Amino acid sequence: MDVKQLQYFVVSVDMGSFHSAAEALITTQPNVSKIVKSLEDELNMTLLNRTRSGVIITPQGERIYAYAIEVLKNINMINEFKKGQEIETLSISSVPSNTLSFYLSQFYNINKQEKGIQIDFFETNVQNVIRRVHARKSELGFVYISKRSMSAFRQQIKSKGLEYHELTKAPLYLFVGKNSPLYRKKSVNETALKDIKLIQYHEKQFSLYNHLGHIKEDVIYNGENMSISYTNSDSFLTQLIKNTEYGCIGSSFVKNQYHELGIKAIPITSCEKSISFGYIRRKKDEISDLAKSLILYFDDIKRF
């Protein structure tokens, strides 16, 4: 028994006739019929009933078909794994960051000349970044964390055998479009935010919005016109900021992305260098050479 026998049998079942199977396999109908017959003879079973209109699978054929599908699937996975050994892969999870995406593309361009590399990139919120690195779905997880959330963040990742490495600090901004009453402001304080509408990424525990105010004496929560909406859609968030009175609390990591859309970044006073940007990794694991190269690359540019 060989792979070709199983492949020709499965395709014949799927296509419903030897003629259609031959077209799909780019061979002749007699060749398909011959190879399937050789499988039947080897197993001493009738797998397909031949009719004038095509082939009909037998009860025995149904069972062999199910096994054949699994065999072919596993062979394909082995072949993909073999090909993957020739390409170095770096798996990354990250919070939304246009700046990070840009520099990842530059990093790829630099390294692809020397060796084949592949970058698997997954964008999500902080909690899911933590889960993905912990579950070994990603080697590195890039996040930005406010100063007020840092202690809780470090405790959470420590319990999962992870550690955090800071790359840089950045200020907090209010991002608004031309329809916002604060659009012409050069800077704003926390009090000025108490009566505006905000749209934020769906981030519960580690939202940058939570950096503002105090837990018990929070001026921003007392505004009569205060309204906060949440989304996991980057395109919806940017369009809402651009075309309505909604604003967004964010870091400088998305500043360039919003500027290109005509969205203004207004510094929030007293929030300079209040956001930490860095990566999490599994503490006991040795990171790959490609991951080390990426970290050194980020250390060199220092533009986050």
Domain boundaries, the chain: 3-84, 88-168+277-301, 172-272
User: Region 51-72: what's the mean pLDDT?
Assistant: 91
For domain 88-168+277-301, give the CATH number: 3.40.190.10
Which range (38-42, 62-66, 92-96, 246-250) has the least confidence? Answer: 246-250
Nearest alpha-carbon partner for 288 in 170, 119, 128: 119
Instruction: Count Cβ atoms below 10 Å from residue 5 Cβ, excluding itself.
Output: 18
CATH 3.60.21.10 fits 3-84, yes or no: no
* Dihedral (Cα; 126, 102, 118, 123), 10-degree rounding: 20
Strand 264-267 relative to strand 172-176, pairing: antiparallel
- 23 vs 218, more confident: 23
pLDDT tens digits, one per residue of 26-39: 999 999 999 999 99
pLDDT of 175 > 70? The answer is yes
Between vectors from CA 220 to CA 145 and to CA 146, what angle results, nearest 5°? 10
Q: Which CATH number fits domain 172-272: 3.30.43.10, 1.20.140.10, 3.40.190.10, 3.40.50.1260?
A: 3.40.190.10
Per-residue pLDDT band for 214 (boundaries 50, 70, 90) equals very low
pLDDT for res 256 = 62
pLDDT of residue 80: 65
> Is residue 142's pLDDT more than 70?
yes
Interval 36-52: pLDDT, tens: 999 999 999 999 999 98
pLDDT of residue 216: 32
Q: Which of 87-96, 155-164, 269-278 has the lowest mean pLDDT?
A: 269-278
**Which of 33-37, 72-76, 211-215, 225-229 shows the highest mean pLDDT?**
33-37
Average pLDDT over residues 91-118: 81
Lowest mean pLDDT across 76-85, 111-120, 217-226, 234-243: 217-226
Spatial CA neighbour of 117 closest among 153, 88, 152, 96: 88
The pair of three-digit structure tokens given for residue 19, joined into one six-digit string: 């003629």
- Do 88-168+277-301 and 3-84 have the same topology in CATH? no
Q: Of the ranges 130-144, 213-227, 262-276, 281-295, which one carries the lowest mean pLDDT score?
A: 213-227
| pLDDT at 255 (0 to 100) | 60
| 8 token code pair | 């020709």
Res. 166 pLDDT band, cuts 50 70 90: very high
How far apart, in whole angstroms, are the C-alpha atoms of residue 212 and residue 196? Answer: 14
Write b or e for each residue in 101-139: b if 16 or more Cβ atoms lie within 10 A of its Cβ, otherwise e. Answer: eebbeebeeebeeeeebebeeebbbbebbbbbbbeeebb
Q: Is the pLDDT of residue 187 over 80?
A: yes
Mean pLDDT in residue range 250-266: 74
Contact (CB, 8 A) for 183 and 176? yes
Helix axes 150-159, 126-134, angle to 10 degrees: 20
pLDDT(171) > 90: no
Q: Are the C-beta atoms of 261 and 242 separated by less than 8 Å?
A: yes
